[in-house]
Structure 1
């Protein structure tokens, strides 16, 4: 039972970090970023790049964030900036971007699976059960990060400007807010959180070019259930999605877990399309 609970906490924490970037881009910018999972994939390949080049482990974070930020900024300046508020157009465009990114990674690293070593080895005993120390450290880091983000969201001037831009872009621009720069920064930040999630997950998963699709689907389901516009909604969504999949997957099989998540998401789309908690606009 202890292992099941710890695995549940791990699944919820990591899905929250993955879905955060999609929530920012989808909820704030009205961009349906179908390439979100590919940014998770790019982050997961960062330790593969550093190890192949013989670079020290501590460079994994700057390599990850630098690569993701560069790709995201280039895409925002050339394509995404023309699609704000155009949901269907952005869906088609970013789907094409996702295919392109997968092909580039496949060309560079091949189709085979990659694996990286765990930076923090060993286990820790929790209520009589041994659990990987690395997972505990990652969960703690994610909790601290979300706490800092919640504080920033309530106190920061930039966060207030983003809320103003979302509520009324024309009025925000009229009072001197640089909505173009703010949108670009929000898009890059959302992609970087996805890349960071991929980096943190890399030692615990098989890394391959198609890995991003599963993370995109589960993140989207979490937003459907939780609703857009608040960290509380994101938390509720990822808890229900990750919790349902983990519990049913452990009791039955992963196939039944995916089926339960899909059924839950369809019910929310039908009965409560705005999710459990969605900020008013």
Structure 2
């Protein structure tokens, strides 16, 4: 296996893990099947376009992304999502409608045409005897560091302990004084914001358009199906299996073969091992 293929594999796995993280939080912890997850990725990808259209300097892309996505997520949580916790089918229908609304809103503002942005880091680095884009190397390193911090936070933080208590028994958590409504809202906004951050990171490497979110929703769902819900380890395993299968088959055969293999693999897991390779109970 060539060095470039290995680096591409690391890129695909790390970015898919980041994209799927928000869905893992919202679906795995809150019981909300967020069909608008891909649209939050899309909004994050449009952050550089929004920044440029407002005449703001490029370094404000990150604050614009986080503020825009968090504001949209908070409004949706306060008006719709807060009534749907634990109601998976109802949340699926509601968020499907939200996804359509968000796509139409972005299309109304920016049009249907493709947008493209330049990476903040240019040039290449020599790794393992191959030249690879420096931006992708920086993203891979940043995602690995971010997941390490998140893993530590999940194991040590008092807030994480309260979330686990809320997931395990919401009524008991509320009875002992945990503000479950505020905690749920924070978890939903955080999950959506990580999706937006993934979109911002991916923006320089993809074509940005209003319909782009569907592919990221599907691949995120497949990663959770394979890895299982409720743990960072399951998310990492699922992202590795899905992105690895698609990347390797896409390189040796075609992208169509890669998508087909991922689809068949996900169907087999839903049939034979619906809890995934590693899952913790909600």
Instruction: Tell me what 2:195 maps to.
Output: 194
Q: Within 2, Cα distance between the matches of 1:280 and 1:127?
A: 41
C-alpha deviation, 1:55, in angstroms? 1.1
Q: Confirm whether residue 132 of structure 1 aligns to residue 133 of structure 2.
A: yes
Q: Unaligned regions of 5+ residues in structure 1, if any? A: none
Q: Within 2, Cα distance between the matches of 1:128 and 1:244?
A: 24
Please state whether the residue corresponding to 2:89 is helix, strand or coil. helix
Q: Confirm whether residue 65 of structure 1 aligns to residue 66 of structure 2.
A: yes
Q: Confirm whether residue 240 of structure 1 aligns to residue 241 of structure 2.
A: yes
Q: Within 2, Cα distance between the matches of 1:51 and 1:126?
A: 33
Q: Within 2, Cα distance between the matches of 1:116 and 1:54?
A: 15
Instruction: Tell me what 2:4 maps to.
Output: 3
Q: Within 2, Cα distance between the matches of 1:110 and 1:127?
A: 42
TM-score (norm 2): 0.99
CA RMSD of superposed structures (Å): 0.6
Q: Deviations over 1:31-68 (max 9, x none)?
A: 00000000000000000111122211110000000000
Q: Unaligned regions of 5+ residues in structure 2, if any? A: none
TM-score (norm 1): 0.99
Instruction: Tell me what 1:267 maps to.
Output: 268
Runs of 4+ residues deviating >6 angstroms: none
Q: Within 2, Cα distance between the matches of 1:92 and 1:22?
A: 16
Q: Within 2, Cα distance between the matches of 1:88 and 1:280?
A: 19
Q: Deviations over 1:65-114 (max 9, x none)?
A: 00000000000000000000000000000000000000000000000000
Q: Within 1, Cα distance between the matches of 2:216 and 2:72?
A: 19
- Number of aligned pairs? 281
C-alpha deviation, 1:139, in angstroms? 0.6
Instruction: Tell me what 2:209 maps to.
Output: 208
Instruction: Tell me what 1:35 maps to.
Output: 36
**1:140-179 superposed matches below 5 A:** 140-179=141-180
Q: Within 2, Cα distance between the matches of 1:262 and 1:233?
A: 18
Q: Deviations over 1:186-239 (max 9, x none)?
A: 000000000000000000000000000000000000000000010000000000
C-alpha deviation, 1:118, in angstroms? 1.0
